[in-house]
Structure 1
Amino acid sequence: MNSLVKHISRIRDEFDTVICGVNGVITDGQNIFGESTDALIKLYQSGKKIALASNSGLRVQELFTALKHSGVPMNIFYALITAGEIAHFYLKNQKNIGTTYYSLLSQGSHTLGGLPYEKVDSVVMADFLIAEQSIKHADIKEFMPVLEQAVNLNLPLLCVGNDTSVQTAGGVKPAAGAAAEQYALMGGKIISFGKPDLRIALYLTENLPDFDVSRCLFIGDNMATDMRLSNNFGAKSLLIASGVNQLKGDLVKQADELSTGFGLNVDYCMEKLQW
């Protein structure tokens, strides 16, 4: 059973390192949560090492700039990683995936910026599909004809950010993982990037002196990505109830039921991140 925590200051002596999600924890993709940012600032001031791990399709510099312009003091984080950056690195060094892509985003791809791949407007001209977290503003059903056509052509779908849904200023919306999940059910091949890939946690902690995984806390709002990565890594976990799951009422009971359904353990639950 998880423990309900109203203020993260109450448990700050139980960890030295924090790996924190972005969407659903400190922002809804448009607005910054002031109390959550303030809590991270105070954790930093109390000597905690804090990194951000996002399933956003944005590159690291893009997300860094967006958060900084929104008033988040980026100097409090020792590292930042995004699914978009991981996918960009993969595609920069990948020679066998082809040269043309069909994006499930009408405006193209953040991930592929600066790389020698050509965006095409027809699936039959594509070597692969790409879905990024920004797909959240669309209805997955509208992509069904595209996915059916792509399955028949045996095209791989690159899923940048594995969240099936994300919190937005307009409510919870489907994300890239939802398209990938549907494509997999149809028999399509998926290449995914982002949490809960264990390599993200290893990358963020491998160079920390005297790192102790038992004194590492993951903060996130997504059970399938944030909490699963925390469990796989062997770290403590803090679920933000007001994020994508929109938990209300008896948070401990609901978080326990949710974690049991995923076969995971959650150590702490908070309505929202606050000091």
Structure 2
Amino acid sequence: MMAALRAQHILKLSAERQREFVNSFDVVFCDCDGVMWLIAAPLPHTGDAVNTLKANGKQVIFVTNNSIRTDDEYVKLFSGIGVKNFQKNDIIHPAKSMVYYLKKHNIKQPVFSLCGTASNTTLRSGGIDVRTLDVTQPITTATLPEITEPKEKVGAVLFDINMDLNYTQMVAGTRYLADKDCQFLAGGTDWLLPMTPNLTVPGFCDFLETIQRFTKRPATILSKPSLLLGEIVKDIYQLKDPKRCLFVGDSLTHDIRFGLGCGFQTLLVLSGSTPIEEMLAAPVEDQPHYYADGISDFLKLYENICKKA
């Protein structure tokens, strides 16, 4: 049996309610994968929608769990879909959250990273002394202990999406975490990665769970839906009134839960990982305030408002 419905489609609101809706927020926090694009495929008119929001006085900031691109790559990607005047500080992802956290809490360096190449580039650009384990030779049970033995004391082990992550690196991470003074910081909590309209692949949360379970060390999560990320975002962007913020995402479990926990208004788009049936079946307290087919619905929304002006 379906739960009661809280969420309202933004294009099915009355003309007066549409105007009230767009006047109710100043800042738009927006997920990327499943909202602006799929990981390996575009979504239509998303750049135009962002430009329309900006033209109507909204600040648009992107909050993604995907650190597999550098800032320069994100600038190129956003420019490629037509977003105007995109700046590097317009986006935050787990690698940037890690830089913030490591510095704010004066965590000793170096750190050992299980993150991908782009994340490590971001960490180093942020002044973090990063160590990695590059596995170039075949590993056997005889060589694994020596190769994975900690070479020095590190202040933290970092985990995030890493397409090249392998078993030997994970073993090394667990051995560093045997030191109780070594902290464990993580992104990579998504269950699913929507690659194209016809292909969704597993996320990295099971790898993270394996490390946590073996080490008995729960990670400090610096990605959605962690409310610690919410505090970081509020600090970095100097947010004064969460109720004047709208969070746009495609995941009930990560985006909408995060937005609700932070006290933001929330908008679920159906262009990514959550079908409408899943939204309708969710308990009312877990549903977004609003939903839309995609972020491009803002184009029609503002067109409607202009017609009724």
Give TM-score, length-normalised by structure 2: 0.68
Pairing partner for 2:191 from 158, 164, 173: 164
Matching residue of 1:154: 177
- Residue type of the alignment partner of 2:20: D
After alignment, is 169-178 or 216-225 more displaced? 169-178
Pairing partner for 1:65 from 72, 75, 93: 75
Q: Please state how far the C-alpha of 1:255 moved relative to its aligned partner.
A: 0.3
Q: Secondary structure at the match of 1:125?
A: coil
1:169-208 equivalence runs, <5 A: 169=196, 171-186=199-214, 187-196=216-225, 197-203=229-235, 206=238
The answer as to 2:112 corresponding to 1:101 is yes
After alignment, is 107-116 or 213-222 more displaced? 107-116
1:105-116 equivalence runs, <5 A: 105=116, 109-114=120-125, 115-116=128-129
The answer as to 2:160 corresponding to 1:132 is yes
Pairing partner for 1:257 from 273, 281, 293: 281
- Residue type of the alignment partner of 1:182: T
1:4-19 equivalence runs, <5 A: 4-5=8-9, 7=11, 11=18, 13-14=20-21, 15-17=24-26, 18-19=28-29
The answer as to 2:50 corresponding to 1:40 is yes
Matching residue of 1:80: 91
Matching residue of 1:266: 288
Matching residue of 1:2: 6
Q: Secondary structure at the match of 1:163?
A: coil
Q: Secondary structure at the match of 2:60?
A: strand
CA distance in 2, matches of 1:70, 1:184: 39
CA distance in 2, matches of 1:148, 1:109: 19
Q: Secondary structure at the match of 2:287?
A: coil
Matching residue of 1:26: 36
Q: Which has the higher Rg, Structure 1 or Structure 2?
A: 2
Alignment: residue pair count: 260
Deviation string, structure 1 residues 74-120 (Cα, Å, up to 9, x no partner): 42788332222121233456665553525254788334334322322
The sequence identity of aligned pairs, in percent, is 17
Check conservation: 1:158, 1:192, Cα contact below 8 A.
yes
Aligned-pair RMSD on alpha carbons? 3.6
- Residue type of the alignment partner of 1:264: D
Check conservation: 2:32, 2:62, Cα contact below 8 A.
yes
Give TM-score, length-normalised by structure 1: 0.75
Can you give the 5+ residue segments of structure 1 that lack an aligned partner in the other structure?
none
Q: Please state how far the C-alpha of 1:23 moved relative to its aligned partner.
A: 1.3
Deviation string, structure 1 residues 45-88 (Cα, Å, up to 9, x no partner): 22322221122225773354232442332427883322221212
Q: Please state how far the C-alpha of 1:254 moved relative to its aligned partner.
A: 2.2
